[in-house]
Amino acid sequence: MCGIAGIYSLSSHNKLSLEQEVRKMLSLIRHRGPDESGIYLNDSLAIGNARLSIIDLKSGRQPMTDDSGNYWIVYNGEIFNYPELQKDLQKKGIHLKTNCDTEVVVQMYALYGPDCLQHFNGQFSFCIWDKKKKECFLARDRVGILPLFYSFKNGLFSFCSEIKGLMALSENERAICYKGLAQIFTFWTTATTLTPFKDIYQLPPAHYMVVNSEGINTYKYWESNLSYPGSSAALVFSDTVAEFKELLTDAVKIRLRADVPVGAYLSGGLDSTTVTSLIHSIEPRILNTFSIGFEDPVYDETSYQMEAARYLNTRHHAFKCSEEDIRNSFEKAVWHTEFPVLRTAPIPMYLLSGEVHRNNIKVVITGEGADEFLAGYDIFKEAKIREFWAREPESEIRPRLLSRLYSYMPSIRDASPAVLRLFFGYKLNETKNPFYSHLLRWHNTSRIRSFLSRDISSELSSYDPVNDLYDLLPPDFEKWSVLSRAQYLESTIFMSGYLLSSQGERMMMANSVEGRYPFLDHRVIEFCNRLPERWKLNGLNEKYLLKKMSEGMIPDSVRKRIKQPYRAPVPGKFLLSDESGFLSEILSQKKLDSTGLFDSSRVNTLIKKIRSKKEVSEVDQMALTTIISTQLLYKMFLVDPVMDKTNNLSDLRIVTETRAI
């Protein structure tokens, strides 16, 4: 994958040095593409690319044009079915000069226009310039694996793979978007086009954008439709298992296409172990696998990881992460997330991708997506239990199912029925609410907003982020089942905005590593969406179909183990041993008051509570992580002059409309 950036001046009176501005952006995202860089330039436009070479290492340089020379592309991503599309293009008489997917994308656009997106199986964000129309076409993949941010100010439209590039432009103001913060402090991410920063937006997944003299128009080209799950009466389970295996195997196979070595993340769970097993069956040679473990046994899954690695005979690289490692890398990881983080989980993933990079691996295949589309998360079971409980709200027995669900959390596992009722009973009877499955999570998370400063709280007093979601829902969403609604919300908000971004792609690309996700192949998603619900969540047995499919492929101890979500040590622990004073400085009353984001007295009360070693709730831990990461973002993006520094792009190639420099 790569990094892309560009500026299009729609205003005749605004003639910045477009080349210099795009140079700034590319230099700040060079970690995304350390191999080479290039800019296409004319009087009103500059578009650039920083390339991480994965396919066709020698002739895949960007910017690249189609056969006619009218369309120019800068591209970030992989189209995994590009060999098949190459053949289709050649049958139509189109001569291809390279063997890379970038040329396929621009040639397909020249042939089909926006409909080209329907032909792509991949993960991507790109911009195509149409010289004749003087028009930019930008697009993002179906589930939002790859980022694309933009701004439009004073007649200048600019875009970049990362926010830091846009923040470096002289036209853009550096300021916090309070509504963006409110969304993040509710959903863990923004659910709309907002970001944490004022006047900087993101193109939503499964959308494309057209920018020309008439303005900016955005269109949706794909939807994850869970409205019509199938009936098991019309299907044979064994046949469905076989069909799923064939489909997932092909999704893995096409994601092995690369001109560099491919590795895999092996977490010790069902999803990554199944994917690794499929890789082994397709490419029997030794596979490099990578995992992360923790010194704290509460979070550690090393025993399962090692068992899976031995079973599949991989060359395994096990990385152990300490609380000190998390503390020391917190700031670097936040620089790359560009969003506040509510938990420390992204930091170990940043460290893990560093291990991958040090082993000279550029691509890793992972198991993300299985939990969302095969109903693996606890939130799906929780919604099912709460709906069941709501039928007899006075029952003493039904809420006890929740203690079984969260057996890995002593505070819930050992709780009395009265405590369970108090915690999980929030809006218990609102089963028809379209957001029923997530109301409790969003309510608990939104308590972080109580730490915001009085001025910001006052400005947000009449704003409820949940209300912004109604316009984003598919037609008849309220008629979907509770599970279908929960899956849709989890995959379109949390997965895209947090899991694949702050915890996924951004942590990999920080170390120039590309992630690939077979479970997020759109064919796999559409297949899972049509499954009978009990073949996904069978009682409280999650990912039922996948467990059956993986019989004999992976160790039974991994296949049958109780679902344990990936978690990392909480910040309260390393706040107690802050020898460098880094956290104390960022959380000092002086710093808190200078940013004006948080109420320093409330934050100080929280810190004293944690340092007293009293019982600290999950919400308090999340609040502390959020406050630290938000304070860091303010420092790095709004105060620190490092944003104004640019690195030398010694390999930069500049292409004009008449010649290449």
Mark which of 530, 559, 588 sits at the end of a domain: 559
SS3 content of the chain, % helix, strand, coil (to 5): 45, 15, 35
CA distance 372 to 531: 13
Which residues, at least 6 apart from 89, have a Cβ–Cβ distance to it below 8 Å? 96, 104, 107, 108, 111
Instruction: Read off the tokens for 540.
Output: 């409280």
Q: Is 83 inside a domain boundary?
A: yes
Above pLDDT 90, what percent of the chain?
A: 73
Length of the chain: 661
- Per-residue model confidence (pLDDT) at position 296: 83
398-412, pLDDT tens digit by residue? 888 888 777 777 777
The C-alpha atoms of residue 243 and residue 549 are separated, in whole angstroms, by 10
Tell me: cis bond preceding 63? Omega within 30 of 0 counts: yes
Give SS3 for 153.
Answer: strand
Residue 321 parent element (H or E): strand 315-321
φ, ψ for residue 550, nearest 5 deg: -85, 5
Q: What pLDDT score does 659 carry?
A: 47
How would DSSP label each residue in 89-106? HHHTTPPPS-SSHHHHHH
Kindly indicate the confidence band of residue 395, based on its pLDDT and cuts at 50, 70 and 90.
Answer: confident
Give 80-112 pLDDT, tens digit per residue. Answer: 999 999 999 999 999 999 999 999 999 999 999
pLDDT at 645: 47
Q: Using an 8 Å Cβ cutoff, are 278 and 249 in contact?
A: yes
pLDDT at 84: 97
Q: Which one of 541, 559, 577 terminates a domain?
A: 559
Average pLDDT, the chain: 91
Q: Out of 2, 116, 127, 160, pick the active-site residue.
A: 2
Q: Which conformational region is residue 116 in: left (phi greater than 0), alpha (psi within -120 to 50 degrees), or beta?
A: alpha
Q: How confident is the model at residue 642 (pLDDT cuts 50, 70, 90)?
A: low
Q: Give the lowest-confidence range in 33-42, 305-314, 627-636.
A: 33-42
In terms of domains, do 93 and 39 share one? yes
Of the three residues 559, 578, 608, the one that is the final residue of a domain is 559
Name the residue range of residue 204's domain: 2-174+199-223
Q: Is residue 341 part of a domain?
A: yes
Residue 467 included in any domain: no
In this structure, what CATH number is given to the domain that contains residue 519? 3.40.50.620
Question: What confidence score (pLDDT) does residue 532 get?
Answer: 94
The span from the CA of 434 to the CA of 171, in Å, is 41
Task: Say how far apart CA 291 and CA 352 lie, in whole Å.
Answer: 7
Residue 656 has pLDDT above 90, yes or no: no
Same domain? 358 vs 217: no
The DSSP code for 452 is: B
For residue 649, the one-letter residue type is: L
Report the C-alpha gap between 57 and 51 in whole angstroms. Answer: 10
Identify the helix (H) or strand (E) that includes residue 262.
strand 262-265
Task: Specify whether 205 is located in the same domain as 92.
Answer: yes
Tell me how many degrees the CA angle 105-275-383 measures, rounded to the nearest 5: 95
Residue 49: inside a domain: yes
| Nearest partner of 527 among 373, 307, 382, 415, judged by Cα | 373
Same domain, 362 and 308: yes
Please give the Cα distance from 423 to 449 (Å, whole number): 19
Identify whether residues 91 and 16 lie together within a single domain: yes
| pLDDT surpasses 70 at 660 | no
pLDDT in tens, 134-193: 999 999 999 999 999 999 998 899 999 999 999 988 778 899 999 999 999 999 999 999
CA distance 261 to 253: 14
Helix (H) / strand (E) element for 590: namely: helix 589-595
- 217 and 238 together in one domain: no
Pairing of strands 135-140, 207-212: antiparallel
**Quick one: 61 and 31 in the same domain?**
yes
Q: What is the pLDDT of residues 326-373, one digit of tens each?
A: 988 999 999 999 999 999 999 999 999 999 999 999 999 999 999 999
Catalytic site residue 2? yes
Please tell me the predicted confidence (pLDDT) of residue 631. Answer: 96
- Residue 451 located in a structural domain: no
> Contact at 8 Å (CB) between 656 and 44?
no
List the 122-130 sheet strands across, edge first: 64-65, 71-79, 122-130, 135-140, 207-212, 215-220
| C-beta of residue 481 within 8 angstroms of C-beta of residue 532 | no
The CATH number assigned to the domain holding 71 equals 3.60.20.10
- Please state whether 613 falls in left (phi above 0), alpha (psi between -120 and 50) or beta: left
* 572: in domain: no
* Backbone CA torsion sign across 540, 346, 559, 294: negative
One-character DSSP codes across 480-491: S-HHHHHHHHII
* DSSP H stretches of helix in 414-529: 417-424, 436-446, 454-459, 482-489, 506-509, 522-529
Helix H or strand E segment including 201: strand 201-202
Same domain, 213 and 256: no
pLDDT at 641: 56
Q: How far apart are CA 291 and CA 609, in angstroms?
A: 34
Sequence-separated (6 or more) residues with CB below 8 Å from residue 63: 38, 39, 40, 47, 48, 49, 72, 73, 74, 655
Can you tell me the distance from the alpha carbon of 653 to that of 36, in angstroms, rounded to the nearest whole number?
Answer: 8
Of the candidates 221, 250, 251, which has an alpha carbon nearest to the alpha carbon of residue 109?
221
| pLDDT of 602 above 90 | yes
Residues 6+ positions from 566 with CB-CB distance below 8 Å: 267, 345
- Same domain for 215 and 170, yes or no, is yes
- Lowest mean pLDDT of 159-168, 608-617, 636-645, name the range: 636-645
> Do residues 2 and 33 lie in contact, with contact meaning Cβ atoms separated by under 8 Å?
yes
Among candidates 249, 239, 250, which has minimal Cα distance to 274?
249
Q: Residue 361 domain-assigned?
A: yes
Q: Are the C-beta atoms of residues 37 and 3 closer than 8 Å to each other?
A: no
Tokens encoding 186: 């509710």
Q: Confirm whether 396 is domain-assigned.
A: no
How large is the average pLDDT for residues 557-585?
Answer: 76
253-295 pLDDT, tens digit per residue, is 999 999 899 999 999 999 999 999 999 999 988 899 999 999 8
Residue 121 near residue 80 (C-beta atoms within 8 A)? yes
Dihedral (Cα; 147, 546, 484, 435), 10-degree rounding: -60
Q: Name the burial class of residue 462, with classes exposed (0-12), middle (13-18) and buried (19+) by CB atoms within 10 angstroms of its CB.
A: exposed
Pair (10, 65) in one structural domain: yes
Token pair listed for 389: 């409980």
Residue 416: pLDDT band (50, 70, 90) is confident
pLDDT for the residue numbered 583: 77
In total, how many domains does the chain have? 2
Q: How confident is the model at residue 644 (pLDDT cuts 50, 70, 90)?
A: very low
Rounded to the nearest angstrom, the gap between the alpha carbon of residue 184 and the centroid of all alpha carbons in its chain is: 14
Cα–chain center distance at 2: 16
Regarding whether 148 and 17 lie in a shared domain, the answer is yes
Examine the domain organization and report whether 317 and 365 are in the same domain: yes
